[in-house]
Amino acid sequence: MTEMQKPTQLSQDTNSQNQALSDNKQEYVTPSSDVVVKEEGASILNATANICKTGLGLGMLFMPLIFSKTGVYIPILCLVFFGILCFYCWNLLGIVLRHVSQSEKYNKTQLYQEYKDILILENTLAIVFSPGWKIFCQIINGLNMYGGCLGYVIFITQSFEPYISNYILRICIIVAIYLPLCFLKDIKAYGKFSSIALTIYTIVVLTIIGKSLDVIRKDEYPDEPIILNGWNTILEYIGIFILAYDVNGTVGLVHASMREKKRFFIPLSIYIIFACCVGTILGLCGYFAYRDQIGDIIFKNIGSLNGGGDALLFFYCFTLIMSICLYGFVLTRMIDTAIWKKDENTIRQTVSIFYRFPIRIAFIGSLALLAYVYPSASNLFSLLGCIFGVILTYILPCILYEKIFFGTKMSKIRVCNYIVMAIGAAGGIAGFVYSLKDLINSYQ
């Protein structure tokens, strides 16, 4: 996903969002993403554009590294396999959302009336199970977002190490950009950067592919044996494959926005195929161009390009900082609400900015400290995928379906649900163990 558009299902004050909806029925934007939901409903084309523009990001830029470590065939198989699993689970979530909205058992409840305009995963968990499940989902999302922010800080600081050797100075630049933006009144203000972020990300991908093809054409790197079997190392990167398609927060919003919700599988399948192709092309180009010369920071392989590569790196890192601002806005707002027991608007009007400022300092300061000691962004994202990605993508949608249809005849879908949950849990545990082992070895 483009980082500025990375969705999150975290919406601490959904009540205030719903009130805003009633005041302005033409369109709304939730903290979850920049997806705009119009009253008349989005077409399949618009839904496809929404889900595609929020689905690609930093995870895809690790594909050249993964290909260089595990070979050509296994990463492609993993991209296809996890793409199929993601399609199944998100399409299953769409079925659940439609069932909940049409079932008298649920749509007459108070919780449904409260959340019906923003029927996403966390709100559906509250309706079908209890509000405690929504809190659990929010905690998982919050930890996942914080981990994502940490990964961005690691990536940024390591990217600029060749230019600025002093780590404190690199962090000061990030803080100097973050602090003036952390008190924006409306999360929609961050959405203004989303189109810029998408454009920059597209240029980054095309530049990586173009530079790699140029290196291949010139044969600038010595030939190395092509890796055919990398099963012994692929488990270290399972989490990245899980996160590669990450649109958890956008899925519910795109589904809610569609005029023909039963055809939700069309934009979803287009996105999965597109993302799989992008990841495969990036991985193959990077692998055949640089082989084992690739690290976490692919920009180091691109080089300066007469200053163009340096400028591209700067702008891309700026979009990552804006993502930190976006996620930080949601996370610190949650903390504000928990401390002062008031909604966001009341806090902004009654609580001085000087009382809220230390929370923002603690947020960015903790990221700076952890980024200093954590060695690898790819390892961190793999761990995040193995823990939080598995829960949000594979486990919760299947559990929702099982809760709704429990007691009915064991259908093929229910059998598939158990298989998917088993695969997701096994892959997550195995990936977590191997990623943790790789993390420990990096300190030795």
pLDDT digits (tens, 9 = 90+) for 127-172: 999 999 999 999 999 999 999 999 999 999 999 999 999 999 999 9
pLDDT for 220 equals 63
CA angle at residue 426 from 422 to 428, to 5 degrees? 115
Residue 110 contacts by C-beta under 8 Å, 6 or more apart in sequence?
none
End-to-end CA distance of the chain: 33
Architecture per CATH, 3-442: Orthogonal Bundle (1.10)
To 10 degrees, the CA torsion angle through 74, 80, 82, 87?
180
**Sites in the chain below the pLDDT cut of 70:** 1-40, 191, 220-230, 407, 409-410
pLDDT for 226 equals 57
pLDDT for 9 equals 35
Q: What are phi and psi of 212, to 5 degrees?
A: -65, -45
CA 228 to CA 72: how far, in whole Å?
7
The Cβ-side half-sphere exposure at 351, using a 13 Å CA radius, reads 19
pLDDT digits (tens, 9 = 90+) for 395-407: 999 999 999 887 6
Q: Whole-structure pTM over 0.85, yes or no?
A: yes
Q: Are 245 and 85 contacting, i.e. CB atoms less than 8 angstroms apart?
A: no
Tokens read off for 357:
């400022």
CA angle at residue 148 from 147 to 150, to 5 degrees? 65
Spans of all domains in the chain: 3-442
Which of 275, 334, 2 has its CA nearest to residue 141? 334
DSSP 224: -
CA 284 to CA 31: how far, in whole Å?
35
Residue 272 contacts by C-beta under 8 Å, 6 or more apart in sequence?
83, 84, 86, 87, 245
